Chain A
Amino acid sequence: MRDTGWLRRNRAEVAGGLMAALAVAAIAYGAEWAEVLSVPLVLAIFLGLVWHGRRRQVALAEVQGLAEMRASLLDRQARFLHDASHELRTPVTIARGHLELLRREQPDATELEVALDELARMERIVERLLLLAKSEQQGLVFEEIDLEAFLSDLFIRWSEVAPRSWRLDVDLAGRLLADPEGLRNALDALLENAVKYTDPGDTIALSAHADGAGGVVIEVSDSGSGVSPEALPRIFDRWARADGARTRERGGAGLGLAIVAAVARAHGGGCSVRPLPRGTAFRLHLPVRVPSTEAASPTPAGEGELAGAGLGPALS
């Protein structure tokens, strides 16, 4: 690149010099006309090469410029998302606070419940937009988490939400390197989705097992109405909605699975979905488990040591 650059800048001098040198040589050695005629030909080829090199360079610069523009556009988009969702928090907080004041005075007003419910929905959308922006900007903060305790807490919380046949199976002990907030949001989105497409009595299972390569696979499966085959390929896209059969849309779920994908990517992993004979299974693959050298990993007071110690019976 540097060579062509030098040639390009000094093309005239180089060409002139070459021609002069050839002319001098032709006269001095009494070369025949035929040989002298080859001089402009060589020169033309040479200039052609220089021209080609230069064009290549311009094209490369153009491509590079486009890539940079795209990157800065994405970056700006993520920043915009982040700032916008951040800004939305204050008005949402104010509206919610005043509505809650009113509710204390009129505990039976259903209008207030509807307004508060919709605000809660807006909060979830805002939170998810923020998380999306954060995971796209590598804004996640990783720490070691006790996977079993983490999944148990999440599972117990969700078991309160809806009467389903809830199952948790964690086939591995140890710690995982993850952003707890991001991971919680991703799993919340998957469990929310599972609750939405199941009825009381259906099964929702959360499970985790080793992937055989030092990572973890977390799966959420349900025995619900399932996803239509046409909806599957685009299901992790932002605002992708499942088909008409799954109509009722609640609380920013259009972003839920996009969150799952973004969080998985930010962890260096991925996500997938597969239909079951009855229901659907979503998988989140996180490639970084902390090697279980228990002595090396500092655990908060008496948590880790107990998690793996097999206290009490295994989950029956």
Chain B
Amino acid sequence: MRILVIEDEARIQAFLARGLEAEGYTVVAAGDGREGLDLATQARWDLVVLDLLLPGLNGLQVLRELQQVKPDLPVVILSARGDVQTKLRGFELGATDYVAKPFSLDELLARIRVRLRGSGAFGDEHVMRGGRVVLDIARRQASVGERSADLSDREFRLLHHLLLHAGEIVSRERLLAEVWGYDFDPGSNVVDVCVRRLRQKLGPDAAIETVRHAGYRLAAA
């Protein structure tokens, strides 16, 4: 797997390259936008990590031109946190993912892994089904018919648990213990909030039933 890192800050470039190489990728780095774009268009890459603040040609320009030549090449953008406009612009221009600075190397590597999986090296899609719900374990994505949604950590675990026990009634107490690791607490409604959010994300076809005074049940078929 070949990754191109376009980043002008030498020390960021250095740890990115080392981190990615440790994961088994082949890494080439470019220090400015023009050089980066040339490299990106001329050689074969599996993914590009692109900083937005670059000398020469800025990151968004690089992205725009790159998309015209290689629209399928995944691009992960690095940029200052919270700049919503730039982020939106990046996605409009076809960026695959966006990681805000200061970022965690572990997080960036995890995201790159997800983006590259499916194109070979990390294949092995793992999927769970129950009723009409399909849960992609690695992507933490659930889908029901045409509709799919990214799940937060707890939503994922909760749905996972319901799927493991599809067709059975699972009590709130058990969900609180299994998903949150908390003791039973009649005052808290965290399980209910999480189920409600899952229903919102997945739509009525997800068929997570409330069983009065007992808990929840995901229809098995």
Contact = CB atoms under 8 A, between A and B. Distances in A.
Contacts of A157: 152, 154
Interface stretch (B26-34, B76-84, B134-142): B76-84
A169 B187 CA distance: 12
Contacts of A11: none
Interface in A75-130: 86, 89-90, 92-94, 96-98, 100-101, 104, 123, 126-127, 130
B18 A168 contact: no
B188 interface: yes
Interface stretch (A58-66, A231-239, A304-312): A304-312
Given A89-B81, A153-B197, A156-B197, A168 B189 contact: yes
Contacts of B84: 141, 181
Interface in B143-170: 147, 152-155
Given A163-B182, A165-B188, A312 B193 contact: no
Interface in B172-221: 180-183, 185, 187-190, 192-197, 199-200, 203-204, 208, 210
B125 interface: no
Interface in A203-240: 203
B106 interface: yes
Chain A: number of interface residues, binned into ranges: 35 or more
B9 interface: yes
Given A152-B193, A152-B197, A156-B197, A302 B203 contact: yes
B22 interface: yes
Interface string B12-33: 1001101100100000000000
A303 interface: yes
Contacts of B193: 152, 155-156, 168, 315
B33 to A, nearest CB: 17
Given A86-B80, A152-B193, A307 B200 contact: yes
Given A94-B12, A100-B105, A153 B152 contact: yes
Nearest to B197: A152
Given A90-B12, A100-B104, A149 B199 contact: no
B154 A160 contact: yes
Most buried by A among B102, B103, B154: B102
A104 B84 CA distance: 32
A311 B197 CA distance: 10
B219 to A, nearest CB: 13
B199 A306 contact: yes
A89 B81 CA distance: 9
29 contacts: A86-B80, A90-B101, A93-B101, A96-B104, A97-B11, A97-B19, A98-B15, A101-B105, A141-B84, A152-B193, A152-B194, A152-B197, A153-B197, A155-B193, A156-B154, A156-B155, A160-B180, A163-B181, A163-B182, A166-B189, A169-B189, A181-B82, A181-B84, A201-B185, A311-B196, A311-B199, A315-B193, A316-B189, A316-B192
Interface of B: 9, 11-12, 15-16, 18-19, 22, 80-82, 84-85, 101-106, 147, 152-155, 180-183, 185, 187-190, 192-197, 199-200, 203-204, 208, 210
Which 8 A-B residue pairings sit nearest by Cβ, starting from the closest? A97-B15, A100-B105, A93-B102, A94-B11, A92-B102, A159-B190, A165-B187, A166-B190
